[in-house]
Amino acid sequence: MPSDEQDPFAAGPTSIEVGGRVMESGRLEAFSDGVIAILITILVLEFRVPDGVDWHALGPVLPTFLTYVLSFVFVGIYWNNHHHMLQLTDRINGKILWANLHLLFWLSLVPFATGWMGKTHLAAAPTALYGVILLMSGVAYTILQGAIIREQGAGSPLAAAVGQDRKGKLSLLFYVAAIAAAFVRPAVSAGLYIAVALMWLVPDRRIETRLRG
């Protein structure tokens, strides 16, 4: 085992030294929070002011609003889980940084798919694309989670909290089913997307329990 002077992580429990400079995991979280905040702003900018002056004028924007609510919930779930995951991350490396960027890439496409699906009233191709982006976001999150666990070790608190990650695997299966259903009954796809969102809205105490412990 190397001495403290040789330990690249000696600068702190949540940092990594690269090229003689210390990179803190807090910066990774702050950057991700900023990107997610921008994505939520872009989502709401998809709304267009109605031409009418009565409540009936809101009818045409209702599909866009409903898809906005769904996407807002999804982005919020990712932000929440991402925050909790990093609370159990005591060090980072380059692979984790790239895996995090990979996740942010797919999340950055959510506003586009949200606007297209809302404006086309659940047409087949937009609804399927929405599912593809959600699926790839889920895959990217799983890759990031795995990169952190590999860096910290199989006995790390995060690995113990995640376990077999049945909920994450079930979510990916729902996304695949929703993509296929989009070309037959897009409403079924929408129902599956909502089901996944509701599944993750149920408080997941695994990581919080580890943090308190």
Please say whether the dihedral angle defined by the alpha carbons of residues 140, 118, 65 and 196, taken in this order, is positive or negative: negative
Residue 133 has pLDDT above 80, yes or no: yes
CA 138 – CA 55 distance, rounded (Å):
37
Q: Which of 141, 137, 131 is nearest to 194 (CA)?
A: 131
Which pLDDT band, with edges at 50, 70 and 90, does 206 fall under? low
pLDDT digits over 38-52, tens only? 999 999 887 777 888
The token duo for 75 is 């982005």
Ramachandran assignment for 23, one of left (phi > 0), alpha (psi -120 to 50 degrees), beta (any other): beta
**Cβ partners under 8 Å of residue 193, min gap 6:** 70, 130, 131, 134, 174, 178
pLDDT digits over 1-36, tens only? 444 443 433 333 455 544 444 456 788 899 999 999
What is the pLDDT at residue 164?
85
CA 144 – CA 147 distance, rounded (Å):
5
Which pLDDT band, with edges at 50, 70 and 90, does 138 fall under? very high
CA 8 – CA 156 distance, rounded (Å):
19
